[in-house]
Amino acid sequence: MKLINKFPLKITLTAILFNMLSIAANATSLLVGSFNNNSVLNFDAETGEFINTFVTSGSGGLNGPVALTYGPDDNLYVNSIFTDNVLRYDGQTGEFIDEFVTSGSGGLDIPQDLTFGPDNNLYVSSTSIATSNSVLLYDGETGEFIDEFVTPGSGGILAPFGVRFGPDDNFYVSGAVSSNIILYDGETGDFIEIFAEITPGSVPGALTFGPDDNLYVANFGSSTIERYDIETGDLIDVFVDNAGGELDGPVQAVFGPDGDLFVSSLNTNNVLRYDGETGDFIDVFIEAGDGGLDGAGWLVFTDEPNLISEPNGMKAFIGSSIILGMLSMIKKYKKS
């Protein structure tokens, strides 16, 4: 048998191969900070299965990884709480790039959370009440200190913890000791108002804006997730009421690609999943100790390519089978 058009078929087979392999490489991942062994672990965002250690233990001097975020350059930024700096890692491989914010820059002391703003600059909460008690602003390209965006104690803040820009472009900060959420001007950092009062001693931490634009607060002291009205600051409900007692010390709550809510539980060393509409408990998404997890901390979902460094057996088999099949067909067609 003689092929009428060999060359287009060859191109088509090659395109199919590359398309299949790229699908495998672009699987969405959930990165989890593993506080006690100074690493960041990579889990499948759909199944919760461990993939690999994305940032190896102590890479770049990492000591006490807390907040994680991807920057405008698609690299991963991590607060290293015990070295008072922000480290940058390759967004696809997890390899250490540099110390993006140097230790103590601008007075940074106990960095807890970080976020890139609409201006692409980096905002870091400096939690120490004794020395800083502020939110610091750094150049998003160089890491150089710019200024104190939220000045020490502004609006009565004590131990600024979670930081996020809201859908209204204002800046929200949780006060872990002042037990409140304080609202600041998103451009100037000026105090606007106390957005929400939290039960004293309950330790409000990480902040997340949901699909409904309302504010979700990880309450470490009460082991709950509370939801606040973005317009009024009123408490809507205790979204995760922890009636089953499975949550103990929530570090961060984030909405996943499927709309469900994922919560890292420090004291049970796992990641839990809740219904994104009702707050009902679904399951333990990542088991305690899975992949070496030790001190389940901050979370970030990512669809960065090549996070899965090695294909599993089935993907490798499919890939090699396609390659071998292509080679044999090409040889056959050359003879025909």
Domain residue ranges of the chain, discontinuous segments joined by +: 1-27+312-336, 29-307
| Residue 91 neighbours by CB distance under 10 Å | 21
DSSP state of 292: G
Tokens at residue 194, please? 């106390």
Amino acid found at 119:
D
How far apart (Å, rounded) are the C-alpha atoms in residues 276 and 66?
24
How far apart (Å, rounded) are the C-alpha atoms in residues 39 and 32?
9
Amino acid found at 7:
F
How far apart (Å, rounded) are the C-alpha atoms in residues 233 and 42?
35
Q: What is the pLDDT of residue 308?
A: 52
How far apart (Å, rounded) are the C-alpha atoms in residues 219 and 198?
9
CATH number of the 29-307 domain = 2.120.10.30
How many H-runs (helices) and E-runs (strands) does the chain carry? 2, 24
| Residue 5 neighbours by CB distance under 10 Å | 7
This prediction's pTM: 0.84
Bridge partners of 253, per DSSP, are 263
Which of 63, 56, 64 is CA-nearest to residue 40? 56
Q: What is the pLDDT of residue 30?
A: 97
Tokens at residue 30, please? 């959930």
Bridge partners of 197, per DSSP, are 180
Residue with tokens 């890479």: 59
How far apart (Å, rounded) are the C-alpha atoms in residues 99 and 4?
59
Which of 139, 140, 209 is CA-nearest to residue 181? 209
What is the residue-level pLDDT of the chain in tens, covering all 336 positions? Answer: 333 344 344 333 333 333 333 333 444 899 999 999 999 999 999 999 999 999 999 999 999 999 999 999 999 999 999 999 999 999 999 999 999 999 999 999 999 999 999 999 999 999 999 999 999 999 999 999 999 999 999 999 999 999 999 999 999 999 999 999 999 999 999 999 999 999 887 899 999 999 999 999 999 999 999 999 999 999 999 999 999 999 999 999 999 999 999 999 999 999 999 999 999 999 999 999 999 999 999 999 998 655 654 434 333 333 333 333 433 433 443 444
In the chain, the N- to C-terminal Cα span, in Å, equals: 7
How far apart (Å, rounded) are the C-alpha atoms in residues 312 and 332?
30
